Chains A and B, each alone.
Chain A
């Protein structure tokens, strides 16, 4: 279609988007124009309305201001009119104050109005308003000032009594009084008063001038008037002066009032003019604003009508143009497309325009042409595709079958766990898969140097397990190296690698080999051989490779499972055969795993335990701490703490728990190893007991030592006192009692000392049964209790301190006797014991003899049996409580054990274990020394002791015995004295030395010095510790004799006799 008009052709050639843009752009422009005009007009109207509003407000203010001011003026006028009638005060209250308030309101309103003008109006209008309002405000303020001034003036004038008018009247009255009786003065007085009255009427200053003139005349008259005395004259002068000044003030005030009234009149003029001007301005503004609104409304209406009509026209034009240039052509194009769709390939769309539709038309025509050609080509292609499809389907079927086989193989392989079976399956399935004649499977050694035949089909069975060097198997090593399958079509022509002989023997021609790979790791190969020449296609190689991968996975899994099984077995062995109980539990306590030890310890079955929580296995008293321990474990990872386990019967056993946090089946859990520490606890208790006894012993030893010294003095003095022949019988008896008591006390201290220091037993080989029998018989003599002895044959001998063991037996028998108040029998049994561990875990290996002393007394209550060996523990009223403690100490010192068992109401059994001696016979005891006769007065004895009491009593004893006595307080002094005696040739025959001198040289050290001076010196050691090693073997330390403190006179005498009579060495 040819365009008729050039402009239309231009339009036609425009892009569609441009056409739409132009069209809608124009419409949009019109829309905006309408909107803009609407906006502007609204804006203008709004401004005008605001102006009207403001001006109405201004008018309101102005009218309000004016009202207030008018009211103020009215009130002012009322004040002036009424003050003379109602009084100044009332007039003030009723009119003046209200007038001022109204004026103030007007002023306030004008101030507000000023602010309103500042914020609301602009430009010249504001300026004009401002000027007028400023004038109004200033005038209103002036009105307020002048009205207040007028009130003040009038008040000054008219206040009753104090006002000038009343003052004048008062003075005039006084003048009249003074003038009475003098006609001339009276006349003048009348003139004055009438002038005053006239002034009040006319308010003319001239009237007051008349008053002044009359006063002048009055003054001239009364000066000369003889009737007036001095006093009256003075009074008159004063009154006239006051009248003059008062009238002058009245005139002045009245002048001011007049001026004020004139001022107010002028203000009135200003105010009314200004108010009217303001109102006029406001009205003018309102009318201007209304006019503006009207003009704006009209303009807007016209503009909008114009725009509307223009818009409609333009819109129609645009629609027509768009229809012509776009819609019509689109419809034509659509019809042509429909014809084409129906199969009419000869249609075409002619359009020469250069817009999108023109382009579309060209494209459409081109497409139609092309379509025809394409259809013919498609027919040819379709035929080719059918043929290809048939071929493809055949190939797919074949492949599908192969994959199915592979899947079946995979299923077989994964179900087989035994490696032997698996290998066999691999080789047989591999053979079957690609129809091989031979199918070996070989596994690579970890070092990669060797290949071992896992299985083979076709080759002899003996080959299974055979190992080849990898390098000898060319193809396999190649495949292993490159980690990919390899085929050989004709092995006879293969030159890349050597061919094993067996291959040639079997007349193998073609080979396909694939690696057994898991991940990156190759661990073997599987090979397929054929006798016939075969060219393996890629599909076969790929299939065989997939098979090889499947086989590799299955073999790898099988190998791993075997490893895991082996590992599990080892673990179970370690777990169940540990020495300690092992449990695994979750953080909240549920048991996950337990070993056999804990099953045996607690008496539960495994299944029962796995249903319990760790809290069920802990003794209740330790449960509160358990959760804090578990919390600590979760923080630090490990904890070692003591607790107590509870078995099925509820019995508690102390354990030490070593806990570790770890992951068990990917869950946080605690591994706890529980070690039985009951023996350790027992040993700890024993150690505590021993330490307690030792500390008490040290204390007791110290006390006993000091007590011994005191006893020595007491006993010695008693001894000496008894020698007095003049003593009365009764006195002697008393001394004997005192002596006996001292001896008992000595025994007690000995026990204490023994307990404290233990006193190494002075052992000798003997038969313990004899000692026990002798002691028991001795203790039970005269009682209603008998002893029955059971002594085993060949009871072993023991190495014991007879005295000490006797003491022990004595204590035990005495206790038995006290428990059997009604008499009875004590059974004492002796036997050999070969099982030291049965005695006590602390027992050494070796032999012991066991002595049981069983009574059938009241028994010992269970709650105190653990305390019976504590020092000073006793249930009896008499007794020191040291007997069993000392006994335990003695037995322990002997390396033995002392136990007690008792059942309340049934009896008590004490069991003593003593290490057996290796000797088989009892050695004969050495001959005791034969004491010689005592010598009196022929010896010089030196006594060395730091205790003055010992020195004194020993001196007295020695003197009693007739010896000469020399004293020394310590070893050094004794040595000095002895040395001097040697030099002076005054022999000291015997030296008695205290074993230990605190803070100085004791006898143990001094004896060496003495013997160095004189090897023949006779030195006796004295000590309270009878069991001290020095006292026990005094000869070994250089002493010749020993005497125990406290000693009696005869003890000292016997010792000295032996010493003095002993042959010289």
Chain B
């Protein structure tokens, strides 16, 4: 399945801060066919550094970031469902973000891009879904930041969401999650090449961005998965170098991941999107999480993973307990995996089985828009 990234254009987007973004573009891909009743659409929401290319293989032969979950016969079965994935607002993979041209200036926004939130991302996705002529989504789903968007969808547009599948996520960023993001941001902003965000066309803040990515990668793995993958093995040598060159496999891996990331991700997008995650708090303006989730009418399937210490199971259980306290239809399972936070991307065997079962039921019991 060779996939094509398409684009939708909108005149403007009203932001949570009160500002208005003019001339907004959204990059998206779709897989499968929309049925005649338009009841089989699933919106997939990507995590922090993901993009619209979720499934299949693109022209360069690169598989989508959730190609193991989306496709014929897979969890999100494209023989049955119409799957949509778009790049988030503030991203750098085709959707308007800080690297986009600021209208009327001929130059990129840089740090003149307005502050954005998860709810802004979701509002833009809603415009895309409307543009595609879909009144009600069978499901919204995503892991990590994608899960936050899924939750936001369920409360912001309950009439549009039949089912919500937030995976390895939280209703609000914790101090630890904010701390890791801030470390990444500081690494970027302290790079002399950052130049106040106006590095486009010049030298990129590659050192800062790659260090940020290295920290990120550590948080996505687990102690156990790192022990299994690298242990204390040395990289192409028998003895220590004693010169701060690469000694260990794990150092080599992190450096490689960091360097590779610079080629595909914008440092300003890193700042804006991590801040959007840190600002995310579903309880804001409500006395409790349960009160906030009261607005939601979807069925929920919440999934967490045993070894995920970045988005630990207690955060998912918080969501689940809030939903149970208001008698929402919520299914919860903590899946066993050694892969840490990355599990929702790589350890998808059991995840596939439960998503399939849940979706089959939701399709069978599709309630249509609440009137």
Do the two chains belong together in a single complex?
A: no
User: A residues near B, CB below 8 A?
Assistant: none
CB within 8 Å of A: which residues of B? none
